[in-house]
Homo-oligomer: A and B are copies of this chain.
């Protein structure tokens, strides 16, 4: 059900011919109210796609009627023609939904540089068709239409006393943080004020999507959106809502990690006893972006030296000769020297746990990443995205 699990939302997904495979590629999610609260976080990449530039303006008044999403083309670096395409997409949806174009978010994903006249015609036709097919059970169709190299549809639903949050996500590569890191639409029938929605979304993404760093590459098109309509009539405690939203976001983030392009290991990097949470995150990200470490994990090699070498590039407080490193429960390095033999570590399971004990403070953080594999190289050399 994904985004249509909460009351008062409709969605659709259609095939508009943007994907050469003929699979669904345009999705629309509409908020039927009563409230039309919107919050969003965007890629912090300064090279932004046209839909990002548009949507950053739309979200300013915190009112969102609908989101139009397409796969099969990023509409990024496509000049003023591309921006007009995004604008026309919003106007087309607004006209058909009888609302203001300034309340329509637009998201695109696919190859950068794709956004010619044929692209525009297909997006506009797809938007019209999708709106004509809007349905209260259309969440899965929408989730399918935003898939790119994703091998599975990614949705999640969390319910509490009388209110529900639903979400869909796409993303299978280029997963690096910088606020959002993928296309995600989340809906809720909880009754939220705009500022509370924004606060809860930032809190949830900061702990989940923002700590997923699959390949260190930041996208030009990423956006995470929350729509809230109050249709349940229930106003949750903001902390309760934020916790539920974080739970749902974490579930979606795990699904993104599990489907990362070419990956054979899902690596959970837990950094403990850091001087601050920020430093724990810095250390975790440094390891998550170390190609040598990631290639070693692909080769089922518990190469803890590469972990320490990565930590050494950070500005975090630590003493290289007082760090413990555990892999899948085996302490392979203690006090900066070899401990248990690396051969004792069983790295054959897909789930891989790396624990770094910095022994300088009490803060901790968890960063998720994937290994660097032949298939990652293959998919990203052969697939032009």
Contact = CB atoms under 8 A, between A and B. Distances in A.
A113 B325 CA distance: 13
B292 A215 contact: yes
A368 interface: no
Contacts of A292: 173-174, 215, 217, 380, 385
Nearest to A310: B217
Contact of A46 (B79, B219, B313): B313
Give the copy number. Answer: 2
A224 to B, nearest CB: 18
B381 A298 contact: yes
Contacts of A77: 305, 308, 320-321, 333, 336-338
A338 to B, nearest CB: 5
Interface in A339-385: 372-374, 376-378, 380-382, 384-385
A112 interface: yes
Contacts of A129: none
Contacts of A384: 296, 301, 303
B220 A48 contact: no
A283 to B, nearest CB: 11
Interface in A312-330: 312-314, 318, 320-321
A377 B380 contact: no
A246 B215 CA distance: 34
B312 A216 contact: no
A192 interface: no
A320 B78 contact: no
Interface string A100-112: 0000000000011
B309 A112 contact: yes
Interface residues of A, number: 61
Contacts of A312: 45-48, 218, 220
Contacts of A215: 291-292
A321 B178 CA distance: 21
A305 B299 CA distance: 31
A320 B374 contact: no
A311 B46 CA distance: 8
A92 interface: no
Contact of A305 (B74, B373, B381): B74
B381 A377 contact: no
B79 A335 contact: yes
A175 B311 CA distance: 16
Contact of A217 (B45, B290, B337): B290
Quick one: which of A314, A338, A385 has the most chain B CB within 10 A?
Answer: A338
Contact of A47 (B301, B308, B385): B308
A260 interface: no
A163 interface: no
Contacts of A337: 77-79, 82, 113
Nearest to A309: B220
A107 B317 CA distance: 26
A122 interface: no
Interface of A: 45-48, 74, 76-79, 82, 111-113, 173-174, 178, 215-220, 289-292, 295-296, 298-299, 301, 303-306, 308-314, 318, 320-321, 333, 335-338, 372-374, 376-378, 380-382, 384-385
Given A217-B306, A373-B377, 10 more contacts: A46-B312, A47-B308, A76-B305, A77-B305, A79-B321, A79-B336, A82-B337, A173-B292, A298-B381, A374-B378
